[in-house]
C-alpha cells in the first residue's frame, strides 16, 4: 500500500521507453496491480460499513476515516489510469504495425501480442479496409502514393526472397533476392514500405 | 496566507481549485502526463489525519501527525491539498536559490536531474499556489528564455552522434522540442539531395524491427558458438 501506485508507473515507463516496439505483456505486474486494487477496495468497503454503522447509532465514537477513504479511492483511480494508458500505448504500437507491415503479420511480430490484441488487429484491419473502400466510388487505398508520383515505373531491387508476384496485367514476376525489376509504381509501393523491395534511384 | 479566514472566500477558492482539478485530465491516456504527475513534491501536513500514517515511511504510527514533512507524488499531494490536509511547499527547482541561478545563466542548469518535467510541474504548481503563481511564472519564462537559444542551436547544428550527450541536461519537453527541430533539419537535408527526394522509403518501424531481429540472431549465434 505504501508503494503509491509505483507498479502502475513502471508499466507506463515501459511504454515510454520503447515507443515503436511491442514488449511481451507484463501479466505478472498486471496481476499484482489487480491484487493491490482488490485489497484497497476491500479496505474501503470495510470503512464505509464502519461509518454507516456509526451513523445509524448516532454516536460520535467513529474514527474520522474520510480522508483515508478518499486517498485509497484516488489510488484506485490512479492505478486504473496507469493500466489504461499502458494498454492504450500497446494498441498504438499495434496500429502502426498495420500501416507498416500490412494486414498479415509474421510470427515473430505476433509473438508478443495477446489473443485479445490479435483480435483487435484483425478488427482494425477490417474497419480500415471498409473505410478505404467507402471513399469515392471505387474506393481509395490510403497506403498508396505516400509521395507525389513522378514516373509511372520505378526500378526496384529485391532485398529478400518473396516468390511469385502477379502484376495487374497478369504477368508473373519472380522476386528473387538481389534481382532488379522495372515495375509499375502503384503495384510495388507497398512492398517497398514493407522492406521487401528497395527503390533504386539514380 | 491566501487561505483567508472568512468563509465565503474559502468557498470561492475551493470552487476555483476544483475547477482546476478537472482540467488535470487534459489527456487521460498520456503517458507523459502520468509520469509528470508522479514527480515528488515536498508537502507539510497541516492537520492530524487519522490512519494515514502509511504515507510516512519513517514512522510506524497509525495517524499522520501535524507538521510532518513528506515527499508525495504530485497527484496525491494535489488531492490532499484539496482536502485541506497538507500544504504544498516549493520544490528545490523553484526555490529562491534556483531563482538566482536561473537569472544568472539558466542554460547550464541540468534540468533533467533537478526536475525532469520542469515546465509542466511549474504550471501545475502555479495553479495550486495562487500566492506564488506570479513568481513561478516569471521564473519559467526566465529559464526558458535563457535555454531556448541553446536548444535551437543544438537541434540545428549538433552532430547526430552526440544527441545523447547534448540532450542529457534537457527537460522532457525541451527534449521533444529538440527532436522535432532535428527531424525538420534532416528532412530538409533529404529534400535538398535531389536523388533522395523522390525515393520511396521503407517504413521506419520495419527497419527498426529488422535491426532488432538481426541483433537477436547474432546474439543466439554467438551464444551457441
Domain definitions of chain A by residue range: 2-133, 147-199
| B126-139 residue pLDDT tens | 888 888 889 999 99
Which positions in chain A touch B85 (Cβ < 8 Å)?
Answer: 67
B90-198 fold: Methane Monooxygenase Hydroxylase; Chain G, domain 1 (1.20.58)
Tell me the average pLDDT across A68-76: 90
Q: Does domain A2-133 have CATH number 1.10.357.10?
A: no
CB contact under 8 A, A68 and B212: no
Is-contact A179 A159, C-beta < 8 A?
no
Q: How far is CA B52 from CA A48, A80, B66, B172, in A?
A: 16, 21, 11, 33
CB contact under 8 A, A78 and B75: yes
Pick from A21, A88, A150: CB nearest B212: A21
CB contact under 8 A, A4 and B73: yes
Tell me the average pLDDT across A152-174: 86
pLDDT at residue number B26: 67
Pick from A63, A81, A201: CB nearest B34: A81
Which range scores top for mean pLDDT: A183-187, A190-194, B113-117?
A: B113-117
Q: What is the DSSP string of A139-153?
A: ---TTS-SS----SE
Q: Kindly give the parts of chain B with pLDDT less than 70.
A: 1-26, 224-225
Which range scores top for mean pLDDT: A124-128, A159-163, B26-30?
A: A124-128
Strand ranges for chain A from DSSP E: 153-158, 163-166, 172-175, 180-184, 197-199
Q: What is the DSSP string of B66-103?
A: TT-EEEEEHHHHHHHHHTTSEEEPPPGGGSHHHHHHHH
Q: Does any CB of chain A come closer than 8 Å to the CB of residue B202?
A: yes
Size of interface A-B (CB pairs under 8 A): 112
Nearest residue of chain A to residue B40 (CA atoms): A4
Nearest residue of chain B to residue A1 (CA atoms): B54
Say which residue the cell 526496384 belongs to.
A156
| A17-48 residue pLDDT tens | 888 888 899 999 999 999 999 999 999 999 88
Nearest residue of chain B to residue A64 (CA atoms): B50
Say which residue the cell 526566465 belongs to.
B142
The ipTM value here is 0.80
Spell out the domain ranges in chain B. Answer: 1-20+40-89, 90-198
Is-contact B77 B43, C-beta < 8 A?
yes
Q: Does domain A147-199 have CATH number 1.20.1290.10?
A: no
DSSP-derived 3-state class of residue B201: coil
Residue B122, burial from CB neighbour count under 10 angstroms (0-12, 13-18, 19+)? buried
How many angstroms separate the CA atoms of A152 and A182, rounded? 10
DSSP state of B49: B
CB contact under 8 A, B34 and A9: yes
pLDDT at residue number B13: 61
Nearest residue of chain B to residue A92 (CA atoms): B29
Is-contact A153 A170, C-beta < 8 A?
no
Pick from A16, A67, A81: CB nearest B49: A67
pLDDT at residue number B144: 92
Round to the nearest angstrom and report the end-to-end CA distance of chain B: 71
pLDDT at residue number B4: 42
Min CA distance, B54 vs chain A (Å)? Answer: 6
Which among A182, A178, A130, A134 is positioned nearest to A156, based on CA atoms?
A182
Which range scores top for mean pLDDT: A87-91, A189-193, B107-111, B191-195?
A: A87-91
Strands A163-166 and A172-175: antiparallel
pLDDT at residue number B138: 92
pLDDT at residue number A103: 85
Amino acid at each position: 500500500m505504501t508503494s503509491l501506485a509505483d507498479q502502475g508507473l513502471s508499466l507506463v515507463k515501459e511504454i515510454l521507453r520503447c515507443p515503436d516496439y511491442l514488449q511481451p505483456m507484463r501479466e505478472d505486474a498486471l496481476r499484482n496491480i489487480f491484487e493491490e486494487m482488490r485489497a484497497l477496495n476491500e479496505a474501503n468497503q470495510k470503512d464505509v460499513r464502519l461509518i454507516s454503522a456509526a451513523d445509524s447509532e448516532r454516536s460520535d465514537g467513529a474514527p474520522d476515516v474520510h480522508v483515508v477513504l478518499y486517498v485509497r479511492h484516488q489510488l484506485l483511480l490512479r492505478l486504473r489510469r496507469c493500466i489504461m494508458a499502458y494498454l492504450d500505448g500497446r494498441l498504438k504500437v499495434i496500429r502502426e504495425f498495420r500501416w507498416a507491415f500490412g494486414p498479415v503479420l509474421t510470427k515473430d511480430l505476433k509473438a508478443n501480442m495477446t489473443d485479445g490484441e490479435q483480435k483487435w488487429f484483425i478488427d482494425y484491419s477490417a474497419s480500415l479496409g471498409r473505410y478505404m473502400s467507402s471513399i469515392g466510388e471505387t474506393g481509395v487505398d490510403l497506403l498508396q502514393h505516400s509521395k507525389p508520383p513522378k514516373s509511372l515505373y520505378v526500378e526496384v531491387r529485391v532485398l529478400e526472397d518473396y516468390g511469385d508476384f502477379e502484376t495487374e496485367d497478369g504477368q508473373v514476376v519472380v522476386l528473387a533476392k538481389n534481382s532488379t525489376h522495372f515495375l509499375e509504381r502503384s503495384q510495388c509501393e507497398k512492398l517497398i514500405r514493407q522492406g521487401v523491395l528497395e527503390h533504386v534511384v539514380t | 496566507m491566501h487561505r483567508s479566514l472568512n468563509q465565503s472566500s474559502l468557498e470561492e477558492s475551493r470552487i476555483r481549485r476544483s475547477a482546476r482539478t478537472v482540467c488535470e485530465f487534459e489527456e487521460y491516456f498520456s503517458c507523459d502526463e502520468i509520469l509528470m504527475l508522479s514527480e515528488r513534491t515536498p508537502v507539510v501536513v497541516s492537520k492530524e489525519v487519522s490512519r494515514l500514517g502509511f504515507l510516512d515511511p519513517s514512522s510506524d504510527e497509525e495517524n499522520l501527525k501535524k507538521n510532518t514533512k513528506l515527499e508525495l507524488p504530485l497527484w496525491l499531494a494535489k488531492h490532499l491539498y484539496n482536502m485541506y490536509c497538507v500544504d504544498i511547499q516549493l520544490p528545490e527547482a523553484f526555490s529562491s536559490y534556483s531563482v538566482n541561478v536561473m537569472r544568472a545563466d539558466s542554460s547550464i542548469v541540468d534540468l533533467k536531474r533537478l526536475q525532469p518535467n520542469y515546465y509542466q510541474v511549474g504550471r501545475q504548481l502555479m495553479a495550486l499556489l495562487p500566492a506564488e503563481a506570479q513568481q513561478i511564472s516569471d521564473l519559467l519564462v526566465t529559464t526558458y528564455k535563457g535555454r531556448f537559444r541553446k536548444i535551437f542551436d543544438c537541434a540545428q547544428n549538433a552532430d547526430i552522434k552526440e544527441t545523447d550527450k547534448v540532450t542529457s541536461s534537457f527537460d522532457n519537453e525541451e527534449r521533444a522540442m529538440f527532436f522535432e527541430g532535428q527531424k525538420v533539419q534532416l528532412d530538409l537535408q533529404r529534400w535538398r539531395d535531389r536523388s533522395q527526394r523522390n525515393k520511396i522509403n521503407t517504413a521506419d518501424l520495419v527497419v527498426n524491427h529488422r535491426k532488432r531481429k538481426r541483433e537477436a540472431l547474432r546474439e543466439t549465434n554467438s551464444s551457441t558458438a
